[in-house]
């Protein structure tokens, strides 16, 4: 939808007004490698997409936050001083959580009319929620605070909103990518130190293709939390001899030397995934810097296999997309992206093979699962920002 159309809807919902209307955007993300590492102080390598959440926003002269979404066509009104009362509303808790966290972090907030328009497919593991949070965060902050927003701080505020208000125990990756994304670059982030670096994605004749299983992710949250606590147990085993505070501090060599401390088959597999996945991220940065895209593709494949066999977060649908992708000529790498248990895969596909990829993978996926997959060739874009209108 064009900004003009959104403006029209805004005025229909909220009426003409004297205060100026401003527009903000934040992105969905795809993680290229480094999965289930961010809550272990490990490395991640996500990139922001050119789909996300657009927000139109205008000041009110009272203390109400009003939310309207173009897809739901429903208005939510909340009192800024009683945000906790709205925790269980049908929608809008991402936005209200962010307002609450901004306020608690000591920033000015005030009454606003807001219109939301999302283009990230929902429930696909492409962080539509982080896009909503970061778009809300930058919009609310910018209307009441004059200094430009610190985007790292923005990502922490949004993560806290999701952890404490929405009640999802996510790591920092999604909000960080949504907030700090940069066109044609992926972000190499160390989640232990929060040091990060932009790495140019020089894909040449290749494109990033995202394939959506369109599988409902019903158990995702409980399984996600289960994996988190399994990692914590792994850390406890290792701490008996090692002076470490998170699995991200462990390199492959140290892990191999001390893995016998982990007295539980399942926990050992989970920790092995985290340690080797971290190592794959480091190797990925190295091969990409040398322009070795095929080397990167191989690391993506190893990542999927580890997520399938050791971390056990893929499932039949993601594995089918992965297997079918690798059968297509012109594909140099593929893996699940995001939390797993459904959601999407990300593949590196030669530009001339994309049509065939979508057709063949789509047909075989449907034959095997009964589901219809979607295929996207989104661009890698900037993260949270104001859009001039």
Cβ–Cβ under 8 Å, residues 271 and 306:
no
Q: Which is nearer to ligand GLA, 171 or 297 (CB)?
A: 171
CA distance 35 to 318: 14
Short-list 162, 138, 152, CA closest to 187: 152
Establish whether 35 is an annotated binding residue. yes
Contacts of 198 (CB under 8 A, 6+ apart): 182, 185, 186, 187, 188
Establish whether 325 is an annotated binding residue. no
Establish whether 38 is an annotated binding residue. yes
Contacts of 16 (CB under 8 A, 6+ apart): none
CA distance 13 to 21: 13
Helix or strand (DSSP H, E) at 27: strand 22-31
Q: Which is nearer to ligand GLA, 41 or 171 (CB)?
A: 171
Q: In whole angstroms, how close is the CB of 170 to ligand GLA at the nearest point? A: 3
Helix or strand (DSSP H, E) at 128: helix 128-144
Alpha-carbon separation of residue 76 from 112, 165, 197 (angstroms): 12, 16, 39
Q: Which is nearer to ligand GLA, 95 or 364 (CB)?
A: 95
Q: Which is nearer to ligand GLA, 337 or 364 (CB)?
A: 337
Establish whether 366 is an annotated binding residue. no
Q: In whole angstroms, how close is the CB of 224 to ligand GLA at the nearest point? A: 7
Cα angle for residues 155, 112, 151 (degrees, 5° grid) = 15
Q: Which is nearer to ligand GLA, 56 or 132 (CB)?
A: 132
Q: In whole angstroms, how close is the CB of 227 to ligand GLA at the nearest point? A: 9
Which is catalytic among the residues 113, 174, 278, 310? Answer: 174
Which residues contact ligand GLA by CB under 6 A? 35-36, 38-39, 170-171, 173-174, 338-339
Establish whether 126 is an annotated binding residue. yes
State the DSSP string of 263-277. --HHHHHHHHHHHHH
Q: In whole angstroms, how close is the CB of 311 to ligand GLA at the nearest point? A: 10
CA distance 203 to 148: 33
Establish whether 125 is an annotated binding residue. yes
State the DSSP string of 138-204. HHHHHHH--SPPPHHHHHHHHHHIIIIII-----SHHHHHHHH-BTTEEEEEETTT--EEEEE---T
Q: Which is nearer to ligand GLA, 214 or 364 (CB)?
A: 214
Establish whether 124 is an annotated binding residue. yes
Q: In whole angstroms, how close is the CB of 24 to ligand GLA at the nearest point? A: 21
Residue 279 annotated in active site: no
β-bridge partners, 48: 29
Q: Which is nearer to ligand GLA, 277 or 381 (CB)?
A: 277
Q: In whole angstroms, how close is the CB of 361 to ligand GLA at the nearest point? A: 23
Q: In whole angstroms, how close is the CB of 214 to ligand GLA at the nearest point? A: 18
Establish whether 129 is an annotated binding residue. yes
Cβ–Cβ under 8 Å, residues 288 and 298:
no
Alpha-carbon separation of residue 261 from 233, 236, 240 (angstroms): 11, 10, 8
What is the SS3 assignment for 26? strand
Establish whether 127 is an annotated binding residue. yes
CA distance 75 to 88: 15
- Which residue ranges are tagged as binding site for substrate? 35-38, 224
- Which residue ranges are tagged as binding site for ATP? 123-129
- Which residue ranges are tagged as binding site? 35-38, 123-129, 162, 224
Catalytic residues: 174
- Which residue ranges are tagged as binding site for Mg(2+)? 129, 162
């Amino acid at each position: 939808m064009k900004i003009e159309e959104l403006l029209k809807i805004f005025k229909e919902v909220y009426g003409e007004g004297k205060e100026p209307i401003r527009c903000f955007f934040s992105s969905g993300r795809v993680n290229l490698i480094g999965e289930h590492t961010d809550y272990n102080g490990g490395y991640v390598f996500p990139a922001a997409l050119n789909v996300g959440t657009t927000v139109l926003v205008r000041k009110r002269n009272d203390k109400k936050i009003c939310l309207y979404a173009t897809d739901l066509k429903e208005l939510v009104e909340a009192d800024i001083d009683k945000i906790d009362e709205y925790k269980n509303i049908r929608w809008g808790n991402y936005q209200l959580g962010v307002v609450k966290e901004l306020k608690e972090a000591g920033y000015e907030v005030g009454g606003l009319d807001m219109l939301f328009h999302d283009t990230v497919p929902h429930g696909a593991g492409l962080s539509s929620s982080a896009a909503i949070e970061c778009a809300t965060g930058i919009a609310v902050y910018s209307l009441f605070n004059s200094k430009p927003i610190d985007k790292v701080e923005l990502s922490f505020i949004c993560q806290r909103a999701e952890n404490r208000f929405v009640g999802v125990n996510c790591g920092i990756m999604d909000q960080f990518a949504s907030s700090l994304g940069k066109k044609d670059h992926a972000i190499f982030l160390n989640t232990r130190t929060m040091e990060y670096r932009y790495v140019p994605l020089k894909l040449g004749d290749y494109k990033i293709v995202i394939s959506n299983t369109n599988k409902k992710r019903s158990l995702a949250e409980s399984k996600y939390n289960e994996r988190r606590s399994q990692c914590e147990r792994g850390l406890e085993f290792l701490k008996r001899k090692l002076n470490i505070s998170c699995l991200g501090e462990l390199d492959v060599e140290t892990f191999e030397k001390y893995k016998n401390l982990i007295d539980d088959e399942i926990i050992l597999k989970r920790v092995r995934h985290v340690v080797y996945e971290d190592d794959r991220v480091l190797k990925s940065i190295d091969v990409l810097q040398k322009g070795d895209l095929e080397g990167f593709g191989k690391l993506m494949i190893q990542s999927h296999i580890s997520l399938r066999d050791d971390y056990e977060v893929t499932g039949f649908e993601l594995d089918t997309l992965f297997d079918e992708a690798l059968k297509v000529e012109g594909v140099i790498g593929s893996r699940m992206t995001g939390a797993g248990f459904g959601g999407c895969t990300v593949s590196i596909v030669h530009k001339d093979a994309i049509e065939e990829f979508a057709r063949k993978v789509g047909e075989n996926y449907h034959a095997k699962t009964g589901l219809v997959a979607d295929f996207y060739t989104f661009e890698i874009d900037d993260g949270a920002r104001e859009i001039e209108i």
